[in-house]
Amino acid sequence: MSVTMVSGPAAGASRRTRLVEVVVPVYNEERVLAASVGRLHAYLSGDFPYGFRVTIADNASTDGTWTIAQRLARELPGVRAVHLDQKGRGRALRRVWESSDADVVGYMDVDLSTDLDAFLPLVAPLMTGHSDLAIGTRLSPWSNVVRGPKREIISRSYNLLLRSLMGARFSDAQCGFKAARTEVVQALLPAVQDEAWFFDTELLLLAEQHGLRIHEVPVDWVDDPDSRVDIVRTAVDDLKGMWRVARGSLAAPAAPPSRTSVRTQIPVFAVIGAISTVAHLALFWMLRSVLPPVAANAIALFVTAVANTAANRRFTFGVRGRAGALRHHLGGLVAFVAGLALTTAGLSVLPGGAPRAAELAAVIVANGLATLLRFLLLRSWVFAPRKDSR
């Protein structure tokens, strides 16, 4: 789909008060809605230098959320409420953003896990025209994040997959703290298909595809222990979205791999393999405290295998660009399955109740064999020059 972009600040913006519209998408959030919107309104009224509008987008709540949203719209100036008959965060954002007359539109999660002091740095480069979109990131070294290991692992693994499989350059697709110039969003929205949790990611990938500038702001973020988000279902939906967006690249011709010799490739592969092994063992050791050994090994190996394939694709075999990336990673997953079989077999020979150090030793030995097998598969099959690229 053709997307027409507009550069620079919104037309006519200098002739009126600059306006930011903040959407708070909600579904069955009566427990926190009033307190969160009150806090957000107080911040925007007192410390924010631009005009604002807060839109509570209730997507098909079945509790008292809509009643509270209507009351807040009556009591607080600059607050309005919109009701949708269907669920979906992406659907709620699309409904508000596509008809907004603000200079900048954004959204934040209703639990306000992200510190509001980051909101002005988020929208300022959009107001000046320096950037087109802006996102909060919890994965910056300058971010201060408090959350459990489960969410930390899932978030980092998902963003690793985005960078490896999709070639994404932004660091945190899932942080519920984003903004964009309105005319840019309204140009992109017709091409965004998702209506739920993958909406953010798809919008950002599309923006990068069109060469738009994405500004990142490190945030202070505290996990809400009572969050209603179904983490597993959300992760599955995100993976489905990634597959839908990426599957077109299966048919795209990849750049032919570099024809460097084995003697040149082996040292590079060895360095990448050593780093991957350390990362695999560290992740296995951390996961082992909450998961059985086989499950901990499978997750740790999968995450590091994706990163390993991406690194070898670029540095060992000299393939760059997004073309053919998904095909290469699917081939790399075959090597992952072989490695998983070897490491699982190594763990299975241990007696029940074996110390964790013994489990680690078994994984190290099996991983060494898997690394050798991986190199042979990558060189002779995954990154072997294709007949149609010669």
Catalytic positions are: 200
**What radius of gyration do the chain's Cα atoms show?**
24
Alpha-carbon distances of 342 from 118, 152, 363, 366, rounded to whole Å: 47, 28, 9, 6
The one-letter amino acid at 94 = R
Which residue from 111, 131, 112, 113 is spatially nearest to 121, judged by alpha carbons?
A: 131
Name which of 297, 301, 299 is nearest 360 in CA terms. 297
Question: Which amino acid makes up residue 159?
Answer: N
* CB burial of residue 2 (10 Å; 0-12, 13-18, 19+): exposed
**Which residues in 221-253 are b (16+ Cβ under 10 Å) and which e?**
bebeeeeeeeeeebbeebeebbeebbeebeeee
Query: Hunting for tokens 């934040």 — which residue is that?
Result: 108
d(CA 172, CA 136): 7
Tokens 């350059």 sit on residue = 169
- Give me the count of residues in the chain: 390
Instruction: Give the pairing type, strands 133-137 and 177-181.
Output: antiparallel
**Can you tell me the distance from the alpha carbon of 188 to that of 214, in angstroms, rounded to the nearest whole number?**
14
SS3 label, residue 55: strand
**CA distance linking residue 149 with residue 290, whole number of Å:** 10
